[in-house]
Amino acid sequence: MELAYYSDYAVRLVNTEEPARNKDSLTSVEAVRDLFGTASQMARRATDADVTRFRSVRARLRAVFTAADAGDQTQAVDLLNSLLLEFPVSPQISGHDYLDDEGRPRWHMHLADHPSNATAGYAAIAAMGLAFHLTEFGADRLGLCQAPPCRNAYLDTSTNRSRRYCSDRCATRANVAAYRARKRLETERSANTGLTADTSQASTTPTDR
């Protein structure tokens, strides 16, 4: 498993909550287990106690994205470093499940964890993955969706660092809203221009005596 893959753990956890919509899908141990995806062995460690612990880590990860989105790279790094210190991992070279055409292992870096609970294991992987993404591509590649009220986290992988939305759906919604706003403004300006012209004409028309 490549290190870049782990950064998605952070995004998945942060996006279980939509504060502006007052929505939170992280309400059960089943929801916690779903976050692990194919890491079924780690997921089996989850208990009801992890729901609260996961929410705490989620708030800290969102703070990293919020700082990065606001342009405060130092704050984003400081917050992420605190997670890395609290939830360390052990990098290992692995070749399991990946063989080349000749049957030899395709060696890659793997993050081995030995956590005391499911939250510690997930947090360690999410923080390390996010740290790898930040140092490889830049803190400005961590963003929050600009389509109100959505504030989902995303990782910008565009070639020109132009991403502003978490999904195509939000991008479309924002573009439609912007188009409608422009049309309203044009209509208002047209109406005001017509009103001004009528007023000017009335002031220059001779009155009957």
Each residue's pLDDT tens digit, 137-190: 999 999 999 998 999 999 998 888 889 999 989 999 888 877 777 877 777 777
The confidence score (pLDDT) of residue 41 equals 79
Residues paired with residue 153 on neighbouring β-strands, in sequence order: 144
pLDDT in tens, 82-119: 999 999 887 778 776 667 777 788 787 777 666 778 99
Question: Is residue 57 a contact partner of residue 76, using CB atoms and an 8 Å limit?
Answer: no
Radius of gyration of the chain (CA): 25
pTM: 0.79
Residues in CB range of 27: below 8 A, 6 or more apart:
51
Q: How far is CA 71 from CA 32, 57, 58, 75, 178, in A?
A: 31, 22, 20, 9, 24
Residues in CB range of 112: below 8 A, 6 or more apart:
89, 90, 91, 92
Residue 63 structure tokens? 């703070």
| CA 50 to chain CA centroid, nearest Å | 22
| H or E, element range at 155 | strand 153-155
Residue 68 vs residue 180, higher pLDDT: 68
The confidence score (pLDDT) of residue 2 equals 59
Residues in CB range of 75: below 8 A, 6 or more apart:
67
Measured in degrees and rounded to the nearest 5, phi and psi for residue 90 equal -120, 105
pLDDT surpassing 90 at residue 73: yes
Residue 170 identity: C
